[in-house]
Amino acid sequence: MQGSVCDYYGSMVFDEQVMKEMLPQAIYEELVKTIKENSPLNIEVANAVADAMKEWALEHGATHFTHWFQPLTGLTSEKHDSFLAPQPDDTANLSFSGKELIHGEPDASSFPSGGLRATFEARGYTAWDPTSYAFIKDNVLCIPTAFVSYTGEALDKKTPLLRSMDAIGHEVRRVLALFGKEPTNVSITMGPEQEYFLIKEEDYEQRLDLLLTGRTLFGASPCKGQELEDHYFGAIRPTVNRFMQDLDEELWKLGIPANTKHNEVAPSQHELATIYRPANAAVDANLLTMELMRKLASRHGLVCLQHEKPFEGVNGSGKHNNWSISVDGANLFDPGSTPEENLQFLLFLTAIIKAVDEYQGLLRMSVATAGNDLRLGADEAPPAIVSIFLGDELEALVRSIIETTPYTTDGEKTMDLGSQVLPRLIIDNTDRNRTSPFAFTGNKFEFRMPGSQINLSDANMVLNTIVASALSNCADALEGSKDVELDAKAYMRQVLSSHQRIIFNGDNYGEDWTAEAARRGLLNLVSTPEALPQYIKPESIELFERLNVLSKAEVESRYEVKLENYSKKINIEAQVSTRMVRARYIPALIEFSTVVASGINTKRQALESLDLSQETALLTQLNEGLNDLIIKVEALDQALIKAQFIQGAQEKAEAYLAQVIPAMNALRSVVDEMEIIVGHDYWPVPSYNHMLFYA
């Protein structure tokens, strides 16, 4: 790195400091008011901001601008327009207006809409999100925007997220008003932890499955996996460390507070965590981070894999969503040293418990993808059952509220490590539960179910909305109370009594938890086709419409898009599977079995009395495997054809789940069995042993 980090941190971001330097004071104050208080932006301010933004972008080498948005693909999209404005006298000016800043018009016909738009209805609009700073990427000024249809429906991930932030912000203010507070700023904050794999580019290029699906559809388990527990937090390999340093520098230039990096549990798996920021900006930053990971890896001869399960038999990758609410800079989920006396904290905690229990199905739905189905419930990630971990102290406090019994605590505890040179450690009031899908971790909630490649907008939109609903219920119950403390305690007792089933502090990986969860009446939606109908339940639609987050049509469109995405991904995986088997594995088996057969014949001709039983058994095994492979690849063909002809989106997804995936797994089992007995030089693709362990 060149120079001090502080010198270049945020250098490619049109942030508040740049605005203050380049804008007239009155314009700057109006813009800050828009950002901090969500007030409308007028065109005069927009014109001044656009002019300053253009000058700043030109100084940093930008020649084009783009409205950077998040269609329902879950990825980001951009259409580049130059600042160049040809003049009648064949000269040119450089221009960028307030209208161009706040309003764009990309083609909306080629993005998924779930029926909101017909193919011939092409017009769509992008609208500037001033609360997420513009930045420069690849010499292009990128302006974070929302994306909507000609008729105003949200066609993106950002718009519903922003609406949900407005909804929860409104309800937070209502609850805080019970305590006589009128906050200036309510911010929903989020800090993601991004897990990923790095493999050598040359290995990646030899595997059609990785190229087209992001995961290995075949591969025998490596001789050494993660069983020695030697990779987690281990010394970072030089090649990987150079990539991480490169990534840090580029992220810091973009003002993305990359903070923690380390080796993860599986070989070749790593993690990057960022510091909290407003949820919409955090989502934008995470999408940028994922893009930069993919781009920068190639500089080091590597490929970054962000699929939830790129390798069978070792841990997959998640994206932990650390979520909280900040009010004028203070964290609402900080319990303080005496949480039993912190009525405000307890009311918000009660609302979280109520929200997660009432809408556990929606939370599970928000992270449902084909890739994440391979990870959830595999003793490496939370199960598909939603529950809340509070820790012993808070659970005891909740119990005391329900039972109206005194709450006692031992106060601050310290740990003596037995050596005079080591300090006494202050013990946190709760341990961490790495198996819980939704855990309180001291001053925030960690939602651990999201998969590594998803756009976190959906999860945060749902989380914001369900908590907003619970807070609205709380405000409705207590507004007008003559004794808020007394009535609040009665309200909490009633709510916590009704929703205590969602609290579980034990081992979510334990075999008995599934049965216990069923006894409690908790949902266990193990697959995406099972989870997605939660989106279109009448109570879900009522929730989104009541809080102005999504209309009925917008909910139904997202349900259709998610179903279609699931089926298409499995369809691609199945086609890649059959192609690889026919083009790579069957020829490899034929070649190697021919070599074995030739060897047997040569030996028999040289000395007829030789014992060739082992070679013959190997040849028989290879031939049986070859025959089995041909039978199973044809079975997958038939399952695929049947699924492709099903018309209903839900029924099609269920067919891919029930018929195509089992046929793929059966085919894989044969290939993986053959990999172990075929000579290394004859196997047509890099193995797990080769890909997961490199210098």
Place of tokens 């099972």: 530
Structure confidence at residue 1 as a pLDDT band (50, 70, 90):
very low
Q: Using one digit for the tens of pLDDT, what is the confidence trace for 510-524?
A: 889 999 999 999 999
Q: Is the pLDDT of residue 38 over 80?
A: no
What is the SS3 assignment for 514?
helix
Q: What is the DSSP letter of 583?
A: I
Residue environment code for 525-538, b if the CB has 16+ CB neighbours within 10 A, otherwise e? bbbbbbbbebbbee
Q: 522, 502 in Cβ contact below 8 A?
A: yes
- Angstrom distance (rounded) from CA 124 to CA 108: 5
Q: Is the pLDDT of residue 412 over 90?
A: no
DSSP 105-125: --B-TTS--TTSS-TT--BEE
The candidate with the shortest Cα–Cα distance to 517, out of 351, 360, 363, is: 360
What angle in degrees, to the nearest 10, is found between the helix axes of 43-59 and 25-37? Answer: 100
* 467 compared with 150, residue with greater pLDDT: 467
- Total count of residues recorded for the chain: 695
Residue type, 436: S
Q: Using one digit for the tens of pLDDT, what is the confidence trace for 543-597?
A: 999 999 999 999 999 999 999 999 999 999 999 999 999 999 999 999 999 999 9
Average pLDDT over residues 435-447: 93
- Angstrom distance (rounded) from CA 174 to CA 338: 24
Strand-strand pairing, 388-389 and 438-440 = parallel
Question: What is residue 410's predicted lDDT score, i.e. its pLDDT?
Answer: 66
- Angstrom distance (rounded) from CA 11 to CA 533: 45
The rounded mean pLDDT for the chain is: 92
Q: 422, 337 in Cβ contact below 8 A?
A: no
HSE (side-chain half, CA atoms, 13 Å) at 286:
36
Q: Is the pLDDT of residue 39 over 80?
A: no
Question: What is residue 71's predicted lDDT score, i.e. its pLDDT?
Answer: 92
Q: Using one digit for the tens of pLDDT, what is the confidence trace for 448-503?
A: 999 999 999 999 999 999 999 999 999 999 999 999 999 999 999 999 999 999 99
Q: Is the pLDDT of residue 89 over 90?
A: no
Considering the chain, what percentage of its residues have pLDDT values greater than 90? 76
Main-chain dihedrals φ then ψ at residue 621, nearest 5 degrees: -65, -40
Q: Enumerate long-range contacts of 418-426, CB under 8 Å, 24 or more apart.
A: none
The candidate with the shortest Cα–Cα distance to 466, out of 164, 66, 64, 109, is: 164
- Angstrom distance (rounded) from CA 36 to CA 309: 39
Phi/psi zone of residue 301: left (φ > 0), alpha (ψ -120 to 50 degrees), beta?
Answer: left
Average pLDDT over residues 262-285: 92
Considering the chain, what percentage of its residues have pLDDT values greater than 70? 96
Extract the tokens encoding 666.
Answer: 């059966």
User: Distance between terminal CA atoms of the chain?
Assistant: 23
Structure confidence at residue 408 as a pLDDT band (50, 70, 90):
confident
* 7 compared with 37, residue with greater pLDDT: 7
Q: Determine which of 110-124, 235-249, 548-562 has the lowest per-residue pLDDT on average.
A: 110-124
Question: What is residue 234's predicted lDDT score, i.e. its pLDDT?
Answer: 81
Structure confidence at residue 110 as a pLDDT band (50, 70, 90):
confident
Average pLDDT over residues 212-225: 93
Q: Using one digit for the tens of pLDDT, what is the confidence trace for 414-435?
A: 777 777 777 876 666 665 667 8
The candidate with the shortest Cα–Cα distance to 665, out of 210, 212, 208, 219, is: 219
- Angstrom distance (rounded) from CA 165 to CA 464: 6
What residues have CB less than 8 Å from 6, skipping those under 6 apart?
none
- Angstrom distance (rounded) from CA 480 to CA 344: 17
Extract the tokens encoding 16.
Answer: 């508040």
HSE (side-chain half, CA atoms, 13 Å) at 355:
23
* 41 compared with 52, residue with greater pLDDT: 52
Average pLDDT over residues 267-284: 93
β-partners of residue 270 are 196, 263
Structure confidence at residue 231 as a pLDDT band (50, 70, 90):
confident
pTM for the whole thing? 0.94
Q: Is the pLDDT of residue 649 over 60?
A: yes
Q: Determine which of 119-133, 244-258, 340-354 has the lowest per-residue pLDDT on average.
A: 119-133
- Angstrom distance (rounded) from CA 103 to CA 406: 58
Distances (CA, A) of 668 to 293, 349, 450, 682: 30, 46, 26, 18
What is the SS3 assignment for 648?
coil
Q: Using one digit for the tens of pLDDT, what is the confidence trace for 526-556?
A: 999 999 999 999 999 999 999 999 999 999 9
